[in-house]
Amino acid sequence: MAQPSAAAHDAAAGYTLARCDDVSICDLSSAEQFLVWAIRWRTSAQDDNEFAEECLKDSFVRAGMPEALDALQDYVCATCPLKLECPASRRLGCWRLNELEAHSLHAVSCLQAGLIGEAWLTLRAVCPETRLQPALESLQAIGAALSRAGGTIRRWQAGNPGATRH
């Protein structure tokens, strides 16, 4: 996966978790787009679950990180245990990020930088307290796989990461 340019990396400093819906998927690096796509694909309702699972598996294999697929499954189960009623075809075409996607990106970037406490606080906004530890462990595995594949996730401005919605 390609590393973002220095200019693109600096642009992420302007991303704020509280205003994630202002961020377009087009502004993300390829590694960031892949993670958002995978989360969207896994959280969305599917017409053919077998096809959906095979597609996701194939994508992780092609990205050079098949070992991270189980971690993604575990992460989504922790943060979004029920499939969204929005079909994948609609959600995948959305240009704007939602809170789960933005907080996931920021938490992975924190984990890649060794900032476990900040990642924990970030996940509190999108994950029930009882599922935080498995979600964090899953994201750590995803971040490590992304790093091995050459992908880096950029940090966002956290704003008030301790505020929870649960």
pLDDT digits (tens, 9 = 90+) for 1-37: 544 444 344 445 578 898 888 898 889 999 999 999 9
In this structure, is residue 163 part of a structural domain? Answer: no
Q: What pLDDT, on a 0 to 100 scale, did the predictor assign at position 159?
A: 62
pLDDT band at 44 (very low <50, low <70, confident <90, very high): confident
In this structure, is residue 143 part of a structural domain? Answer: yes
Q: What pLDDT, on a 0 to 100 scale, did the predictor assign at position 94?
A: 76
In this structure, is residue 161 part of a structural domain? Answer: no
Q: What pLDDT, on a 0 to 100 scale, did the predictor assign at position 96?
A: 86
In this structure, is residue 71 part of a structural domain? Answer: yes
Tokens at residue 7, please? 């200019």
Q: What pLDDT, on a 0 to 100 scale, did the predictor assign at position 166?
A: 38
Residues in the chain: 166
Burial of 27: CB neighbours in 10 Å, binned 0-12, 13-18, 19+: middle
- Tally the C-alpha atoms within 13 A of residue 28's C-alpha that lie toward its C-beta: 27
pLDDT digits (tens, 9 = 90+) for 71-118: 999 999 999 876 666 666 666 667 889 899 999 999 999 999 999 999
In this structure, is residue 155 part of a structural domain? Answer: no
In this structure, is residue 157 part of a structural domain? Answer: no
What range does the domain containing 125 cover? 6-148
Q: What pLDDT, on a 0 to 100 scale, did the predictor assign at position 41?
A: 86
Q: How many domains does the chain have?
A: 1
Q: What pLDDT, on a 0 to 100 scale, did the predictor assign at position 81?
A: 72
Helices then strands, counting H and E runs in the chain, come out as 8, 2
